[in-house]
Structure 1
Amino acid sequence: MFIRAYLRASTADQDATRAAADLEAFAAERGLKIAARYVENESGAKLHRPELFRLLNDCQPGDVLLIEQVDRLSRLTAADWALLKAKIAEKHVRVVALDLPTSHQLAQVSDDFTARMLDALNSMMLDMLAAIARKDYEDRRRRQAQGIAKAKTEGTYKGRPEDTKRNAALMGMLKAGQSWASIVAATGCSRSTLARLSKRLAEAGQA
């Protein structure tokens, strides 16, 4: 059995490894060791997360997927959560979350009957917490949209603050002659962002 830690943050400017020490402490308290970490900056509302699926593909039956909170694993729709759960079940992976005490015993249990019983209980709790995480995500998105709509009506909406450091780096890559495809692949930025920055360079006579 290997313990594989999954660490996720939603955006590139957030520290995805923030909970690493808590996961290490959880394992150490039980005389266990984390075999590998999988870190990515992707929204939990997206099913397509390369590091999460690399972790699952690396797993052998009985391995543990260790997370800080259930929402690190899923803020998915019900349909996408069902797909992810099916993949986890197919690999016979045990999900252990620090915020889900009913899952903690799965990190150490060796008896197959006990493991199956705990898995069944844990599955119900995971479903409930995943649904709560999705609702929280949708509620926050709705409040943000309402706030933006109100600010636009009042003429106070300024949009998202520009990431000047990132944009300066992207413009440097454009000026160096790198192709858009290579920049997108390396940084994950959108082509619309590159189009806007390219236009800015052209207007400044630096393209």
Structure 2
Amino acid sequence: MQTVLYARVSTADQTSAHQASQAESAGFDVDLVIADEGVSGVAVPFADRPQARRLFDILRPGDVLVVRWVDRLGRDYDDVTETIRAFMARGVVIKTIINNFTFDGATDDPVQKAVRDSLIAFMAATAQAQAEATKAAQRAGIAHARASSEAGRKYRGKKPSYSRETFEAVQGMLGQGGMTVSAIAREVGLSRQAVLRIREEPEAAEAALARWGV
């Protein structure tokens, strides 16, 4: 049996090494890292990602697939749930770094299956809702930055202390719930004030990234 980490990173600010480090810190002993670099999680279905497709050839019954969160397994609700069920049907156990959830298709107990399937549905819906919120903030930020430019305002303000990866990570953690602002700040290496700004003013936070071309 082997433990494989699947990482998806969409910008140059993100690295698969960072997600591998997170997995190690969470106690996972990873044998192999498979990563799709520069691939959007909200535009490209899981099965269309070059490295993601390799997982169906690599993983065997009893193997463990580790992902940072279920949003790495698809671009929307249907994609995420179908991907999880496809791997479970192959006997693959899926585990998340955040909150250490486990999805195992081996159980035959109807109550355990109901609880598992309900959790999969809830987490997939949460992942899609967060992706849609991120896209909305991106659109608002880009529009705001374009309007400012067209009005001739060249001042970009102070460069954000967060990268695109960090911004998306904070939004993801906020959307999942269960973590305090201070805990999120420690997790991503930002100040508490920066996390609060992203939570309270996501459009303005996104606009700051857009103004700096991040």
Q: Are 2:2 and 1:5 equivalent residues in the alignment? A: no
SS at match of 1:60: coil
Look up the match of 1:43: 40
Matched letter for residue 44 of structure 1: G
SS at match of 1:8: strand
Superposed counterparts of 1:74-93, under 5 Å: 74=74, 76-93=75-92
1:34 to 30, 33, 36: 30
SS at match of 1:87: helix
Matched letter for residue 88 of structure 1: F
CA distance in 2, matches of 1:142, 1:124: 27
SS at match of 2:21: helix
SS at match of 1:18: helix
Matched letter for residue 20 of structure 2: A
User: Percent identity at matched positions?
Assistant: 26
Matched letter for residue 16 of structure 1: S
Shift of 1:12: 3.6
> Pairwise CA RMSD of aligned residues?
3.0
CA distance in 2, matches of 1:100, 1:124: 16
CA distance in 1, matches of 2:146, 2:87: 44
Ranges in structure 2 where 5+ consecutive residues have no aligned partner: 155-214
CA distance in 2, matches of 1:116, 1:63: 23
Look up the match of 2:173: none
Shift of 1:77: 2.2
Look up the match of 2:182: none
Superposed counterparts of 1:117-132, under 5 Å: 121-132=115-126
Cα distance per residue 1:31-72 (max 9 Å; x no partner): xx3221112222222212121221232111121111222223
Structure 1 residues 151 and 102: alpha-carbon distance in aligned structure 2, compared to 1, 3 A threshold: closer
Structure 1 residues 4 and 117: alpha-carbon distance in aligned structure 2, compared to 1, 3 A threshold: farther
CA distance in 1, matches of 2:58, 2:109: 21
Shift of 1:120: 5.3
SS at match of 1:95: strand
Look up the match of 2:200: none
Shift of 1:124: 2.7
Shift of 1:78: 2.7
Check conservation: 1:9, 1:72, Cα contact below 8 A: no
SS at match of 2:34: strand
Matched letter for residue 67 of structure 2: I
Structure 1 residues 126 and 44: alpha-carbon distance in aligned structure 2, compared to 1, 3 A threshold: farther
TM-score, length of structure 1 as denominator length: 0.58
Q: Which has the larger radius of gyration?
A: 1
Look up the match of 2:130: 136
Check conservation: 2:64, 2:95, Cα contact below 8 A: yes
CA distance in 2, matches of 1:57, 1:121: 29
Look up the match of 2:141: 147
The count of corresponding residues between Structure 1 and Structure 2 is: 147
Shift of 1:2: 1.6
CA distance in 1, matches of 2:145, 2:25: 44
Check conservation: 2:61, 2:92, Cα contact below 8 A: yes
Check conservation: 2:81, 2:120, Cα contact below 8 A: no
Q: Are 2:70 and 1:70 equivalent residues in the alignment? A: yes
